[in-house]
Structure formats: structure tokens, C-alpha cells
Structure 1
Amino acid sequence: MPSYLAFFRGINVGGDNKLPMKELTAILESLGCTRVQTYIQSGNAAFDSKSRSRAKLASEITAAIEAEKGFAPLVVLLEQKQLETIVAANPFPEAEADHKTLHFFFLTAKAKQPDLTALEKLKAADESFLLKEEVLYLHAPSGIGRSKLVATVDRHLGVATTARNWRTVSKMLELCGD
């Protein structure tokens, strides 16, 4: 049975789109997911599912949340092996020592015509990024709070994303292994 990781965008942020993790767990279990574990309130879940279609399962999860809570969050769903490959391909291994500086932007689909030149112009002097398949790796030693690149990444990639820092990505892989 495949192990999946779900990364939700825009839940429990600023008091909007409230979805307690206990309720998210119940929704996932109602869809037949097992061994459901969540990590922090920003919407991260690891679970097993008999589903063999990531796209179908992601749509079912979004629809179930909309039916239960009245909003339809973006969800990026990865298989455990995909996330392991993404982590192994990290082009900034030196940044792993400080989890707040390394970020993974998970794309909802492969960027067809990303404007990497625009992102390059927007990045701070100490920022580095690399787009590879369906993930944008960002090393931002000064943080991402004021990053102009981060504020426009979806527009310049032409696809929606949800981002997680190194600590969260590492913890999610641990949850899959538990």
C-alpha cells in the first residue's frame, strides 16, 4: 500500500480556512486512508492509501474538505519515494544545518514556461534557487519573510505551489517511516 504525504496550502493561516488536524485526520480516514499522522497546524499529513492515482486522491481529499468545512484547499500529494528523491536531489545540502534557510516549493504540476529570468532578478543577493521537475529549491540565508522572489514565485512559474522548510520536509519523511 503506497505511503503518501499531503501538503496543504492556505489552511489555518491568519484565522482563515480553519481545519484542526484532528478533523483533517478524520476526513482522511473517511476516505480510507490509514496510519494518518499530521505535523504542525499548517497542513501536513502522512498516510497510507490503497489509491494508485495521486491526482484522483488529491481531488477526493479537496472535495471532502470542501464538503465538511466549506473551502477547497490546494493540496500537493506526493508518494514517499517521490519525496525521498526530492530530498536526495537537494542542491543546497550545506543549508540543511539551518532548517529556516532551506525551502521546498512543491508545484501542483510541472511548470511549462517558467520565467526563471524574472525570479533571478527578484532574488536577494544571498538567495539561490533551482527548479527541478515539480519542486523549486530555495536557499535563503536571510529568511523568506521579505523575499521578493517568494512573493511572486507562483506567477513566474505559472503554476500554484506550497512551500515547506527543511525541518518540515524532514519530519514528514520520518512520519512515513513510522
Structure 2
Amino acid sequence: MTPYIVLFRGVGGATQLPVKQLRAVLAEAGFSGVATYINSGNAVLVSPMAESAVAETVAALVKEKMGFDKAVLVRSAADWAEVIAQNPFVETVDEPTKLHLLALERQPEARNVEALQAKASGSERFAVKGRALYLHTPDGMGRSLFAPKIEPTLKVAGTARNWRTVLALARMAENL
């Protein structure tokens, strides 16, 4: 049995994912330890399935039962802990709303990472490590002119969480 972190892409604003219903749908499907973190598309659960099977199953369930038809990204708790340990911007963790992790569907091609580097300007910094992109936005994500360029340039879908959420999900997964 593996603890997983489940990230729903595109939740917020007009797109809501009711967490009470989400917990019920996932528990009824046989996942254990199901818990959610704030109303922005974050869950933890335990399953014997592989990461890709969890992602496919959860995506199919929320589409069928809740009408939510967007990407679902899944990471094992061990992978998540490794991503936290590899944070290249450790000096920024005291401002957790200005440090972000973008969980990517797959590792981007090197040429696309280079193209993204060419678009980086101002005080923002980023680093790509495998399927993770770390983004430091000293002026805040809401003011970032760089952040909207990430997915189109990398040609990889992803979903961002601020460092406070990253750490909270890690704690929740540890407690499963």
C-alpha cells in the first residue's frame, strides 16, 4: 500500500471540486485514508495501485461521478518528499507563498527548458528537476508575467502549488 498525493489541475474560480463529495467518491472506489486539503484540488490517499493507475482511476471517477474533466497528477509520498528535499531555493522557504512547485505530467525536453530559460526575466527564478519545476516569484505569483509562459514553452501540462501547500500535503501523506 502506497500513500499518494493527488493534484487536480484547473480547480479554482469557476471550476470547483466539492471536497466532501470528492472524499466520498474516492472512498467508495476503494481508496483508503482519503483526505483533502483546502478547496483547491488536493487530496491524499492510499492504494496498492501504481501511480499511473491511480491517476487514471481518479480521473475517470471524478469525470463520471462529478463531471470534472481535467488532468489529475499523482505523486507517491516518497516522490513528494524527494521533490521537497531537492528544492534549489531553500533560502526562500520562509516566504512559502512566493515559492511554488509545478508538478509536471512528464519531464520536459531539454530544448524546451532552454527556451523557457530564455524567457525568464526580472527577479523570478526557476529550476527543473525531473517532473518538478520550482518557481520563486519574489513579487508574488499573481504579478508574475513569467508563470503563464511555463506550460506553453515546456509543452508539458502541470499544476502549481505554493510551498505551504506542498509541505502540508507532505505532512498529510506521512500520516496515512
Task: Answer yes or no: same fold by TM over 0.5.
Answer: yes
SS of 1:115's equivalent? helix
1:50 aligned onto 2:59: no
Give me the whole-angstrom Cα distance separating, in 2, the residues matched to 1:124 and 1:23. Answer: 42
1:170 aligned onto 2:164: no
Name the structure 1 match of 2:10. 10
8 Å Cα contact 2:17/2:40 also seen in 1: no
8 Å Cα contact 1:38/1:46 also seen in 2: yes
Give me the whole-angstrom Cα distance separating, in 2, the residues matched to 1:117 and 1:111. Answer: 10
2:64 to 60, 63, 67: 67
SS of 1:86's equivalent? helix
1:84 Cα offset (Å): 0.4
Name the structure 1 match of 2:31. 33
Q: How many residues align?
A: 175
1:112 Cα offset (Å): 2.6
Give me the whole-angstrom Cα distance separating, in 1, the residues matched to 2:111 and 2:145. Answer: 16
Name the structure 2 match of 1:19. 17
Query: Quick one: which amino acid aligns to residue 41 of structure 1?
Result: N
The verdict on how the C-alpha distance between 1:38 and 1:114 changes in structure 2, with shifts beyond 3 A counting, is farther
Once the two structures are superposed, residues 72-104 of structure 1 have per-residue CA deviations (whole angstroms, 9 ceiling, x without a partner) of: 121110000000000000000011000111100
SS of 2:173's equivalent? helix
Name the structure 1 match of 2:103. 106
Query: Quick one: which amino acid aligns to residue 37 of structure 2?
Result: Y
Give me the whole-angstrom Cα distance separating, in 1, the residues matched to 2:171 and 2:149. Answer: 31
Show structure 2 runs of 5+ residues with no match.
Answer: none
1:161 aligned onto 2:158: yes
8 Å Cα contact 1:114/1:156 also seen in 2: no
> Please, what TM-score do these two structures have when normalized by structure 2?
0.94
1:55 Cα offset (Å): 1.0
What's the C-alpha RMSD, in Å, of the aligned pairs? 1.3
Give me the whole-angstrom Cα distance separating, in 2, the residues matched to 1:58 and 1:76. Answer: 6
Superposed structure 1 runs of 4+ greater than 2 Å apart: 112-124
Give me the whole-angstrom Cα distance separating, in 1, the residues matched to 2:111 and 2:36. Answer: 32
1:116 Cα offset (Å): 2.8
> Please, what TM-score do these two structures have when normalized by structure 1?
0.93
Name the structure 1 match of 2:149. 152
8 Å Cα contact 1:124/1:147 also seen in 2: no
1:146 Cα offset (Å): 2.5
1:115 Cα offset (Å): 2.2
8 Å Cα contact 2:17/2:68 also seen in 1: no
Identity, in percent, stands at: 34
Show structure 1 runs of 5+ residues with no match.
Answer: none
Once the two structures are superposed, residues 121-140 of structure 1 have per-residue CA deviations (whole angstroms, 9 ceiling, x without a partner) of: 43342111101100011111
8 Å Cα contact 2:6/2:72 also seen in 1: yes
